[in-house]
Amino acid sequence: MPELPEVETVRRGLQPAMEGAMIREVRLNRADLRFPFPPGLAARITGATVTGITRRAKYLLWHIDTGDTLIAHLGMSGSWRVSSTEADDTPGRFHHSRNAARAHDHLEIMLQRGAENILVTYNDPRRFGFVLIERTAALAAHPLIAGIGMEPLGNAFDGDALFAAFAGRRTSLKAALLDQKLIAGIGNIYACEALFAARLHPEMPVDRLARADGTKSAKADALAAAVRDVLARAIEAGGSTLRDHRQADGELGYFQHSFSVYGREGEACARASCDGVVKRVVQNGRSSFFCPSCQTKGGRLRTPKAVNAG
């Protein structure tokens, strides 16, 4: 399942290829993906110009000058590739392909910008991805978009915003980070990595982000900064790997090699100053990886009674 950094990397790859280009032709090679393609989709967008590509959580949003927006999701195995229509087999400037089998090319969009012809292809072997369309003015109320939490890469996201969003929750930090209604687009991998970077235990109760008087502690600032930093570094790594491997048809490898705790059960802690060993626990059916030596469960001392009871 692609996480937010991969979706953002795809957005940054598609944007220069598609922005300002006119949609000349749309080919749907089957009737549905996870959902049926919207009726009349090809006719509705043919002739329109792409005015911008943005992202909300893990949804790619293609805004076109007819006042419509395409909502695209990569599902489990979806990928987009950009190529020139003149040289079909030559990879283009952006190549986010996991599967080169043409049988899984479900949607092909031919675009034109000046003398430049651009082919954008959606490939998805497992077909959990989808493309929908909505009036841009109604986008915020769309069932998939309405109720999504704040963007962790947005300007408004900081320790204060995180603390306010988590206030009153009676869950663990890990569960709160994964709650898409609070913060959008953080998946299991980056929740684990951010907690490690902030030195906070995944099972720490959310209310321990507050000081004894109920105000925000430095832990909330540290966690927000860690979320931003972990996502930003993953996007950087993804971007550079895509550039390095743009002529390869293989799987994207960037999210396999730069983790501090995720998938590293039993390995030494990545902090040189720490002699801890990475542990795995299951929380709400998802694996949490953490270092029990340097990730704290919170600064407040338990009462002696609670310690004895445990």
In the residue annotation, 3 being an active-site residue is answered as yes
In the residue annotation, 286 being an active-site residue is answered as yes
d(CA 34, CA 132): 10
Q: Within 33-52, which residues bind Zn ion (CB under 5 A)?
A: none
Active-site annotation holder among 2, 91, 152, 202:
2
Considering only residues 169, 276, 286, 297, which one is a binding residue for Zn ion as defined by CB under 5 A? 276
Considering only residues 228, 277, 294, 296, which one is a binding residue for Zn ion as defined by CB under 5 A? 294
Task: Tell whether residue 261 is a contact of Zn ion (CB under 5 A).
Answer: no
Beta bridge pairs of residue 116 = 113
For residue 289, the minimal CB distance to Zn ion (Å) is 11
Task: Tell whether residue 66 is a contact of Zn ion (CB under 5 A).
Answer: no
Closest to Zn ion by CB, 11 or 219:
219
| Stretch of 41-49, 141-149, 261-269, 302-310 contacting Zn ion, by CB under 5 A | 261-269
d(CA 204, CA 292): 12
Residue 146: which of 187, 176, 184 has the closest Cα?
Answer: 184
In the residue annotation, 202 being an active-site residue is answered as no
In the residue annotation, 25 being an active-site residue is answered as no
| Stretch of 9-17, 20-28, 47-55, 274-282 contacting Zn ion, by CB under 5 A | 274-282
The helix or strand, by DSSP H or E, that contains position 71, with its residue range, turns out to be strand 68-73
194 phi-psi bin (left φ>0, alpha ψ -120 to 50, beta other)? alpha
For residue 40, the minimal CB distance to Zn ion (Å) is 56
Considering only residues 136, 293, 296, 297, which one is a binding residue for Zn ion as defined by CB under 5 A? 293
Total of chain residues touching Zn ion, rule CB under 5 A = 7
DSSP character string of 77-139: T-EEEEEESSSTTSEEEEE--S---GGGEEEEEEEEETTEEEEEEEE-SS---EEEEEEGGGG
Dihedral angle sign, alpha carbons of residues 238, 243, 244, 245: positive
d(CA 125, CA 115): 33
Residue 101 CB partners (closer than 8 Å, separation 6+):
123, 125
For residue 296, the minimal CB distance to Zn ion (Å) is 11
For residue 178, the minimal CB distance to Zn ion (Å) is 22
d(CA 268, CA 245): 30
Asked if 129 and 78 count as a contact pair (C-beta separation under 8 A), the reply is yes
Closest to Zn ion by CB, 184 or 191:
191
| Stretch of 30-38, 89-97, 206-214, 264-272 contacting Zn ion, by CB under 5 A | 264-272
Active-site annotation holder among 55, 58, 174, 219:
58
Considering only residues 71, 230, 269, 298, which one is a binding residue for Zn ion as defined by CB under 5 A? 269
φ, ψ at 99 (rounded to 5°): -145, 120
Catalytic residue ranges: 2-3, 58, 286
Residue ranges binding Zn ion (CB under 5 A): 269, 271, 274, 276, 291, 293-294
